[in-house]
Amino acid sequence: MGLSSRQAYRESLRDGRVTFWDGESISDITEHPNFRVPLDVAERDYDYDDAKRRDILTYRTETGEDANRVYQVPTSEAELLQRLELGAEMSIVGGVTGVFMALMSVRDEVAEVNPRYAENIQSMYHFARDRDLRASEVITDAKGDRSRRAHEQDDPDLYLHIADRSDDGIVVRGAKFHITAASLVHEQVVMPTKSMRNGEEDYAVAFSIPTNAPGLKIINRSFAPPELNAFDYPASAHHSIPEGMVIFDDVLVPWDRVFLAGETPLSGVFARSLGLWERTLGLLEAAERAELMVGLAQLVVEHQGKERKPEAMDAISELICYAHIIRTHLEAACRRYESTPSGMVHPNVLDVNVGKYYYAANYHTAVRNLQDIAGGLVLTLPKEADLRHPEAGPYIRKYLHAKEGTDVEVRMRILNLIRDLTADAFGGWHLVTSLQAGGGLIAQRIMMNRTYDIRAAAKKAMAAAGVRDA
């Protein structure tokens, strides 16, 4: 036990898990072309050989073993910042394994209601950490008719629920949607999608279950086809992770893996905790991408010789503002961390929600600024195959000549990356994901209203209006 390896990870996925993709039932994902790139992405997180990278990816546990840093329960600002460094280095598969932080953040609150659940959280955390497992964040229900509550739906399975209880455990039925990397992880960590009330006890359920558990099935989808040319698709040729619709067709969850089974007041606690850690990860990813967009904007205008033009400088300054506000929020969230009773720290809830909201609400405008100055070649640039063609290639080189000293291939690579990230399938994925992943805008609005010191603001307004004793 301890740190795992690429090879062991790959072998561990040959465990009989049931997955579907493109109308095919896939019995061994390690042999299937659709999973080639996703597996390569996930496996890179097990590359611990390089000393510098190992420093970022790992930490020393209380028992003196090395473990992946995604499992480090932060107790200081410095450890939160190390987590950001980790997030920038590791894949989204490692990122969503941070679901254990959401569990550990609520452990004290859960213990007050049912100590057994809190012990289960603690032991599942150790189980996963000491085996260097990967886990997914399984929270979003199908939800059916949004105007009705979980127990009022036409079909009771439209929210995941407890269908049966016995001495062995609970039997769960339902489906969870959009689950990032579901087919690539070892554990599905499941929580309620929102607060549940009286009458919805069977829907207040949280647990962790292995991906190959009988009755668990995953239907995959990704923005990227299996093979893409890396010159034409510099981002998505190397990066794609499927999301999965995860079906629970009467899955037995043993009691020692259950974190919640009927205590409705705790459902919102789980959901909010996951929201916080998921949005922190989203904010980090957003900061990295926004900074990349600034760089792309600068290069594309330099190549065209318009870097001193006011309209180009305006667009770039807007992108800088966007990137910097996101980064600043992320750092502020760590600096102004909050603590649980047992001393774990987590990012500031208000800072994270304001930052995530700002990122999501303005992402489409940031893309507009980049596309506006980049020009139509973002879409119409010929492909690499034509560049290498003996007759077509020279024309491309001749007519893509721009500012002196600009290499045509470099210019093409920058334009291709802009298209890949903002205008093609991956670009479309980002447009929707910026809004929905981690919860739609409404989810952050609710948290802003909940956590901002609104009474202090009202008092300030009363005092400014001359109301005495405000």
Among 49, 51, 52, 146, binds ligand FAD (CB under 6 A): 146
* Least Cβ distance, residue 127 to ligand FAD (angstroms): 21
Query: Rounded to an integer, what is the distance from CA 74 to the centroid of its chain?
Result: 19
Structure tokens at 453: 């010191």
Instruction: Supply the minimum distance, in Å, between the C-beta of residue 406 and ligand FAD.
Output: 35
Which whole-number Å values give the CA distances from 288 to 254, 312, 459, in the listed order?
Answer: 40, 22, 38
Residue 439 interacts with ligand FAD (CB under 6 A)? Answer: yes
**Nearer Cβ to ligand FAD, position 93 or 412?**
93
The CB-of-246 to ligand FAD minimum distance in angstroms stands at 9
Out of 58, 105, 433, 434, the residue judged to bind ligand FAD by CB under 6 A: 433
Question: Per CB under 6 A, which region of 3-11, 248-256, 331-339, 437-445 contacts ligand FAD?
Answer: 437-445
Rounded Cα distance between 403 and 391, Å, is: 24
> Which C-beta is closer to ligand FAD: that of 176 or that of 419?
176
Q: What DSSP string describes 359-389? A: HHHHHHHHHHHHHHHH-THHHHPPPHHHHTS
Is residue 442 at the binding interface for ligand FAD, with CB under 6 A as the rule? yes
Residue 372: CB atoms within 10 Å: 14
In this complex, which beta carbon is closest to ligand FAD, that of residue 279 or of residue 329?
279
Say if CB 414 and CB 300 are below 8 A apart: yes
Give yes or no for residue 243 binding ligand FAD (CB under 6 A): yes
Minimum CB separation from ligand FAD for residue 64, in Å?
33
Interacting positions 81-140 with ligand FAD (CB under 6 A) = 96, 136-140
User: What b/e string do you get for 69-96 counting C-beta neighbours within 10 Å, with b at 16 or more?
Assistant: bbbbbbeeeebbbbbbebbeebbbbbbb
| Interface with ligand FAD, residue 178, by CB under 6 A | yes
Angle between helices 267-304 and 408-422 (to 10 degrees): 150
The Cα–Cα gap between 227 and 39 comes to 13
| Per CB under 6 A, 180 contacts ligand FAD | yes
Contact call for residue 348 and ligand FAD (CB under 6 A): no
From 158-166, 287-295, 360-368, 434-442, give the range in contact with ligand FAD by CB under 6 A.
434-442
CB atoms within 10 A of CB 225: 14
The residue assigned the tokens 């390089």 is 50
Residue ranges that bind ligand FAD, judged by CB under 6 A = 96, 136-140, 143, 146-147, 176, 178-180, 243, 432-433, 436-437, 439-440, 442
